[in-house]
Amino acid sequence: MTIYLNGKFMPIEEAKISVLDRGFIFGDGVYEVIPVYSRKAFRLAEHLRRLQHSLDGIKLANPHSDGEWTMLINELVARNEAEDQYLYLHITRGVAKRDHAFPNPPVKPTVFMMSNPLLTAPAALLHSGVACITAPDNRWLRCDIKAIALLPNVLLRQMAVDAGAVETILIRDNAFMTEGAASNIFVVNNGKLLAPPKDNLMLPGITYDVVLEIAAANGIPHEVRKIGVAEVFAADELLLTSSTKEVLAITQLDGKPVGTGKPGAVFAKLHKLYQDFKRDVMRAT
Ligand code: PDD
């Protein structure tokens, strides 16, 4: 596997960073995950825009222009084997003596990128749907920043794994649903697709935007608004989206069936439209 670190491409075994890197010491950095289909980065402009939003959120200057990122990303994709890949981009505030405050003057940020093969959900999973659990959203109030400090998300996801489920759906203030530990969540009630608003309490998902665009373009009734916890438990369907999982049906919640317990009609429609959209955008010659 060829990775990129601070200006150089190299085998992952050769990549080394200092133990004083602020990413290692403080989790002081941000990241992106970008899917690549047929060697083309999906929604690259949108991912780079979200990266800028995250960097602004932690007051770290962007080390590259969008043009430079695009060149580096294309080269990383070319140097790795899979046709479909997922890219991980990671920027930290760099290496400095341990002090919570920013290094002054600023030091060079650490820039790391790697690629892994992108394996989308197997047919059996699309057919059965996945199990989720719910838990209180105990994260900070800037969940719109794609921060590398992911300990709450790690612990919340592990709760799902320990319960034999794939994801934890997060409930803020015992009142409304925000998102999953590493995904966005949609609710379907009475044929209408409901999505929580992109505020400071959730990551503005790139897949989330695609799903809403597809719904709008295909006449699927939808609404963006706060979703109460009771609506989650009364849902006819629940959907999970992310760059690596695309669109999945959630068919069990806290051990009970969601709706009929099978992937529903809105999921089937959106999943097909999502695949069509990908094919049209990415595989068109
Ligand atoms: N996670 N919410 C959270 C907290 C996430 O970590 C992610 C993605 C999403 C979905 O965003 P997108 O559709 O842009 O992937 C929502 C990535 C895949 C990860 O951390 O690996």
Q: What is the pTM of this model?
A: 0.97
Q: Are 199 and 212 in contact (CB under 8 A)?
A: no
Mutate which of 243, 244, 274 to test ligand 1's pocket (most atoms within 8 Å of Cβ)? 243
Q: Are residues 192 and 259 in the same domain?
A: yes
Q: CATH number for the domain including 186?
A: 3.20.10.10
Last residue of a domain, one of 101, 117, 133: 117
Last residue of a domain, one of 89, 117, 145: 117
Q: Are residues 16 and 101 in the same domain?
A: yes
pLDDT at 177: 98
Residue nearest to atom 1 of ligand 1 (CA): 182
The tens-digit pLDDT sequence of the chain (285 residues) is 999 999 999 999 999 999 999 999 999 999 999 999 999 999 999 999 999 999 999 999 999 999 999 999 999 999 999 999 999 999 999 999 999 999 999 999 999 999 999 998 999 999 999 999 999 999 999 999 999 999 999 999 999 999 999 999 999 999 999 999 999 999 999 999 999 999 999 999 999 999 999 999 999 999 999 999 999 999 999 999 999 999 999 999 999 999 999 999 999 999 999 999 988 877 654
Tokens of 246: 């695309």
Strands 29-37 and 2-5: unpaired
Q: Which domain holds residue 217?
A: 123-282
Tokens of 112: 């790391």
Q: Are residues 35 and 140 in the same domain?
A: no
Residue nearest to atom 21 of ligand 1 (CA): 33
Q: Are residues 143 and 263 in the same domain?
A: yes
Q: Are residues 144 and 87 in the same domain?
A: no
Total tally of structural domains belonging to the chain: 2
Distance 89 CA to ligand 1 centre (A): 13
Angstrom distance (rounded) from CA 120 to CA 183:
15
Sign of torsion over alpha carbons 150, 153, 159, 165:
negative
Q: Which ligand 1 atom sits closest to the C-alpha of 210?
A: 13
Q: CATH number for the domain including 96?
A: 3.30.470.10
Q: Are residues 154 and 278 in the same domain?
A: yes
pLDDT at 283: 60
Q: Are residues 86 and 220 in the same domain?
A: no
Angstrom distance (rounded) from CA 245 to CA 217:
22
Type of residue found at 43: R
Q: Are residues 157 and 255 in the same domain?
A: yes
Q: Are residues 218 and 188 in the same domain?
A: yes
Q: Are residues 78 and 193 in the same domain?
A: no
Active-site annotation holds for 146 = yes
Angstrom distance (rounded) from CA 132 to CA 163:
9
pLDDT at 285: 42
Q: Which ligand 1 atom sits closest to the C-alpha of 181?
A: 4
Residue nearest to atom 11 of ligand 1 (CA): 205
pLDDT at 154: 98
Q: What are phi and psi of 240, to 5 degrees?
A: -120, 135
